[in-house]
Chain A
Amino acid sequence: MENNDKHISFVEQVQAIPGGEHVSVCYSCGTCVSKCMIQQKVEPDYNPRRLLRMVMMGMREEAFESPTTWMCSECDLCYSSCPQEIHISGVIGAVKQLAVEAGYKTPLEVVSVDENLCSGCGICVMTCPYEAPHLIEKEVDGELDRFSEVDAEKCMGCGMCVAACPIGAISRPGVSNAEVVSQIKIKKKRGKKSLIVFVCDWSLREDDDVVLLESYPDNVRIIHIPCTGRIDPQMALIALNSGIDGVLVVGCKPGECHYKRGTYVSDCKINLLNTMLGQMQLADGRVRFVQIGTQDRGRIRHEVDDMLALLEKEAV
């Protein structure tokens, strides 16, 4: 074990960071792993149980290189099920803090700020669930200017700030404004109602539900987004204005959002959008937000069918 301070073991270092205190009571039952969406959906090597064990065994470099250290989004689905009541994301956060201090970099796709556009309003700072952006001042052409700067190691890539930035100064590969808008296209077919479905990649827990998404005919366009917090009301307006009949936004149930606040943020946006459509006498249920719970297997099918049936009925 290479440690600058040989007197303090790795586990003691982790325990010294707020959140990391309870690591040693883990008895490696693995309940956390069974709850974790990351392990199921994107990274088989993601394993909180193993990371906690690495900490206790002093496997410093292995822990720092583990995807578990970097990918935990603090959704805390595991917290409520841990029989030892360990705040696992707190422990992982402590490991990540040490990894960052040791110079390790995040492997995630993170957001970046275009300083030529950013006016330093601070909305991204207030929005971010992870305290990744902060305002800095620096000299540009002899004048002090204020920008948002993103701490890449804190960013989880949810895209909430990309949607919140009122001037489009923030982007993230794959979910930039232009990339999402370019997908809002459905070829009109006579007699078929068209529907855009924005799906949070975390909201569908069942493989069958994910497979189902691939099976829809052309009149239903699925657009994958990392979190419904990435939704911008403008996207729904663009869809409707291009002649698409309906927009369905599919996210997670309150308390189960992978990025903590995304589902609330999206609820607010769709709510306000529908209020505004109502003010214009245009509210007819064509934009809908549904929240799918961890136990709601197969529900996506019903939601899409419901929406298509409504569009048929309203003949909008």
Chain B
Amino acid sequence: MASKPKTSKTKDPKPKLAFYWASSCGGCEITITELGMRLVDVSELVDIVFWPAAMDFKYDEVRAMKDEEIDICFFNGAIRNSENEEIAHLLRKKSKLMIAFGSCSHLGGIPGLANLFDAETLLERVFDTAQSLDESRGTRPQVKNKMPEGEIELPQMYDRVKSLAQTVEVDYFMPGCPPVVDQVWNVFQAILTGKLPEKGSVIGAEAKTNCDVCTREKGTSGMRITEFKRPHLTELDPDKCFLTQGVICLGPATRAGCGLPCVNGNMPCRGCYGPPDGVVDQGSKLVSAVAALVDTDDPQALRDILAGIVDPVGLSYRFGLAESILSDLKYGK
């Protein structure tokens, strides 16, 4: 942002927008700045009242707002610690519309992969056993810390990473890691013209899956997989379906809308737009599909072929582990 737009000191009919990042990488913020000059147009039409990544607002300013004073809150990032959770509840209370923006708030995203391990295991790894440490210092971040100036508090890290909808009620879901900029623009326009669909809908995406828009040559009868290949170790034909080349692509289980930047770059879809409507658990559906393509009648060969899928959870639940049944099983519903 070149300059901070004026905040509403007088009664202003402009809709008030808030952007927040919880457990996220910042990519969602960048996708908003990618709007470029269009952002200038947006800032003429709206008031941005909260955006920690780009502008100097404090939590207390949000706390001082009236309930539902914010018209629309774009919330990116997963819920990993007590701060994320607290601000999610705060922004929910202060916002008329809560939009889960990006894969992490939509499904848990990449931070959700941490659900493979509980908090203690993660902290032990990071602070005690990581090779990059000279030696274990035996120190861990504590929630309460005594400092010369007094006691300070850090957020509590939770065992389970959650999506935004697992924490507060969400009105719309905008998928993507990050949401592609043209879809962000579409959604802004839909908001400003009041053309939003039914609450609870996924916005800024299509109804069908990526295969619907992918022009690669699809598999034919009997075309199956005898070896799983990893994309970085394989020379890939840019015109053929990845699955027909033994490379697992999440496109068949992933909602379209991104415009296929990965696939067009000759890399398989990683699934960041999440599943289409009606699919509860994207990862297990993908596994069901991929397993059906394995071609062997030898039980041992079958195991060898499957060993070629190095990290099935990381592959099939890359963006959806936080909301998955696997996480429910590990941490309770």
Contacts and interface: CB of A to CB of B under 8 A. Distances in A.
Does A pair with B? yes
Interface in B50-109: none
Given A127-B293, A131-B221, A255-B297, A166 B313 contact: no
B126 to A, nearest CB: 18
Contacts of A264: 294, 296-297, 299, 302
A102 interface: no
Interface in B278-324: 278-281, 283-294, 296-299, 302-303, 306, 309, 311-313, 316
B330 interface: yes
Contacts of B211: 119-122
A100 interface: no
B222 interface: yes
A307 to B, nearest CB: 18
A279 B220 contact: no
A96 B221 CA distance: 19
B175 interface: no
Contacts of A273: 284, 287
A254 B299 CA distance: 8
A49 interface: no
Contact of A164 (B208, B218, B251, B292): B292
B306 A271 contact: yes
Given A128-B221, A233-B287, A269-B291, A168 B279 contact: yes
A272 B219 contact: no
B253 interface: yes
B260 interface: no
Nearest to B250: A166
Contacts of B333: 241
Interface in A54-98: none
Given A167-B276, A234-B325, A272 B252 contact: no
A226 to B, nearest CB: 15
A149 interface: no
Contacts of A268: 291-292, 294, 302, 306
Interface in A183-229: 229
B63 to A, nearest CB: 37
Contacts of A165: 289
Nearest to A260: B297
Contact of B243 (A120, A123, A145): A123
At the interface, is chain B mostly helix, strand, loop or mixed?
helix
A267 interface: yes
A166 B291 contact: no
A280 B326 CA distance: 7
Nearest to A275: B312
A279 B293 CA distance: 23
A237 to B, nearest CB: 4
A167 B291 contact: no
Contacts of A261: 297
Contacts of B285: 166-168, 232, 234
Contacts of B275: 167
B27 to A, nearest CB: 26
Given A121-B209, A167-B209, A265-B291, A272 B312 contact: yes
B119 interface: no
Q: Indicate the member of A127, A131, A277 with the most B CB atoms within 10 Å.
A: A127
A160 B243 CA distance: 18
A308 to B, nearest CB: 20
A138 to B, nearest CB: 14
A267 B325 contact: no
Contact of A276 (B209, B241, B312): B312
B328 interface: yes
A267 B299 contact: yes
A163 interface: yes
B212 interface: yes
B288 A234 contact: yes
B285 to A, nearest CB: 5
A281 interface: yes
Contacts of A128: 221
Contacts of B326: 237, 276-277, 280, 282
B208 A117 contact: yes
A232 B284 contact: yes
B236 interface: no
A159 to B, nearest CB: 11
A240 interface: yes
B329 interface: yes
Contacts of B288: 163-164, 166, 232-234, 269
25 contacts: A117-B276, A119-B256, A126-B224, A126-B244, A127-B293, A131-B222, A134-B220, A163-B292, A165-B289, A166-B253, A166-B285, A167-B275, A168-B278, A229-B292, A237-B284, A254-B297, A264-B297, A264-B299, A265-B294, A268-B306, A271-B303, A276-B287, A279-B312, A280-B313, A280-B327
Interface of A: 117-123, 125-128, 131, 134-135, 145-146, 160-161, 163-168, 229, 232-234, 237-238, 240-241, 254-255, 261, 264-265, 267-269, 271-273, 275-277, 279-282
Q: Which 6 A-B pairs have the closest CB atoms?
A: A121-B211, A122-B218, A164-B292, A268-B291, A119-B212, A121-B252
Given A241-B325, A268-B302, 4 more contacts: A126-B221, A234-B285, A271-B291, A281-B330
